[in-house]
Structure 1
Amino acid sequence: MTANIGTPERIVRIVAGVLLVALPFMSGWAFFESALWTWLSVIVGLVLVITGILRFCPAYCMLGCSTNGKACRR
């Protein structure tokens, strides 16, 4: 598993992920009264946090993308 996420994107992913996980519980928005949107926000947030911590995005590897300057091995 070769890292394919650069440092700036890693920071953005982790911050956005934490916000998406916390948003349904802290915001009080009527939008999140639906369990579907709450779960969707939490799942997407966790995926962002995990990919940010691991510095690896499987979708980038499938598409041949990289934001750290190194090509992903297929």
Structure 2
Amino acid sequence: MTKNVGGIDRIIRIVVGLALIAAAATGAVGLWGYVGVVPLLTGLMGWCPPYAILGFNTCSTKN
């Protein structure tokens, strides 16, 4: 897997993922908040399947 998520995109994904998971864990939102696992994992891995399919790349380095 070649990294296709970089910089600010990764930071936003991680922050949004953690916020959704925290909101679901505290009961502020329903169980759907656990969907925050998806942006969290894609941010941590640096690879997003839809980006790969659509040919997007926000990563400045070619890994």
TM-score higher than 0.5 here? yes
Secondary structure of 2:2's aligned partner: coil
1:58-69 alignment to 2 at 5 Å? 58-69=49-60
Distance 2:5 2:60 in 1: 9
Relative to 1, partners in 2 of residues 1:63 and 1:70: Cα closer, same or farther, differing over 3 Å?
A: farther
Letter in 2 for 1:18: L
Amino acid across the alignment from 2:36? G
Runs of 4+ in 1 over 6 A off after TM superposition: none
Partners of 1:65 and 1:57 in 2: CA distance: 9
Structure 2 residue runs without a partner (length 5+): none
Aligned letter for 1:15? V
RMSD: 1.8
What TM-score do the two structures reach when normalised by structure 1? 0.72
Equivalent residues in 2 for 1:17-32, closer than 5 Å: 17-26=17-26, 28-29=27-28, 32=29
CA drift of 1:25 comes to: 2.9
AA aligned opposite 1:63: L
Percent same amino acid at aligned positions? 39
> How big is each residue's C-alpha offset from its partner over 1:11-52, in whole Å with a ceiling of 9 and x where there is no partner?
0000000000011233x54xx3xxxx41x210x200111000
Aligned length: 62
Q: Work out which of the two has the higher radius of gyration on C-alpha atoms and give 1 or 2.
A: 1
